[in-house]
Amino acid sequence: MAPVRLRHPKGVSTIDVDLTNATVQDLQQQIFSATEIPPSQQELKAGYPPHPLTLVPELPIDSLGLKTGEQLVVTQRSSGISHGSGAPSRTSAASGATFASASPAAAMTGMTASQVHDPSPASASRATGGAKGGSPEYVLTSQGYLIHRVVPDDNSCLFSSIALIFEQDIGKAQSIRQIVADAIRKDPIKWDEAILGRPREEYIKTILKPTAWGGAIELSILAEHYGTEIASVDVETGRVDRFEPPPQKDTGNRAIVIYSGIHYDATSVSPMFDAPDEFHQTIWSKAGSEDEDEMLQAAKKLADALRAKRAYTNTATFDLKCQICGKGLKGEKEARAHASQTGHVEFGEY
């Protein structure tokens, strides 16, 4: 544990942080306890002169490059939404901000780009959780029904969701993977080994496999590619993480995905609950802050309904098995530590 000094609107505090094993989300929770500023509203700066930090909750804390005795300047964002990268500032990865060195486990998404294989029917049901009788959850809005669009639990869920939203064809998941691979290959400075958590060519080769999960890195790249903000709503916490394209590419539009802890699904708006897919709208214009944006509020209600059915996986407590060596592990923290020690980044849920 290492002391980290916080300068925040209420004064100065010191917290003890595990700079080796903690995640950015762990740090944000500690800051919340000390300052009462919710993680979704935190903006952090470090160094001298202070510079903004890119916050991606799923990444290990060493992605921030903090040192023992570091001072963090904590301010509160006026809107209640997590802005881009963190993914409070998940804007960052899409707009060119860089991360400090990340551990090998930073290649995990989901767990951050983890290959967590979970083929069991029970797990698929838990992760995607439609309503009773198999119907999807939905929330009525002024524009129609915001519907939870469940995609297959086949390790390509993020890519399938993006294909459904932007290409109206879930079968184009592999072409979405290729977009990510091409973007990483074209920009070795932005997407270097420190950010990816493993050698660039290895990451590219892995992300093209149908068994490899995607997460924060992939959403950042895809937001830039489509010039559209992708808001990810976490079922367990209700947190909204916004992945924003660079300002020069921003179309002013937004798409929404639902994240269950180990699974992504799409959303769309239908004029009638049972309207054919071709009548669904998957991209909308942004409408101010979280409290002002009807679609984001509806998506959070959708997450509330799924949470009530426990349609999520707590990545801190679920049981994992390393697919490489067979070692049993408890939760994301042990998986990250194992990945750092061994380089193994493929895990299966018991």
Q: Are 130 and 262 in contact (CB under 8 A)?
A: no
- The tokens 């609950």 sit on which residue? 273
Q: Which residues contact 205 (CB under 8 A, 6 or more apart)?
A: none
**From the candidates 18, 26, 154, 304, which is the catalytic residue?**
154
DSSP-H helix ranges across the chain: 24-35, 91-95, 109-112, 121-128, 157-162, 173-186, 193-196, 200-207, 216-226, 294-308, 331-342
**What residues does 2 pair with on adjacent strands?**
17
8 belongs to the catalytic site: no
319 belongs to the catalytic site: no
Report the C-alpha gap between 264 and 239 in whole angstroms. 14
**From the candidates 62, 157, 280, 322, which is the catalytic residue?**
157
344 belongs to the catalytic site: yes
Q: Is the dihedral of CA 224, 79, 70, 197 positive or negative?
A: negative
225 belongs to the catalytic site: no
**From the candidates 8, 83, 263, 338, which is the catalytic residue?**
263
Q: 342 is written with which tokens?
A: 């061994």
Known catalytic residues are 154, 157, 263, 344
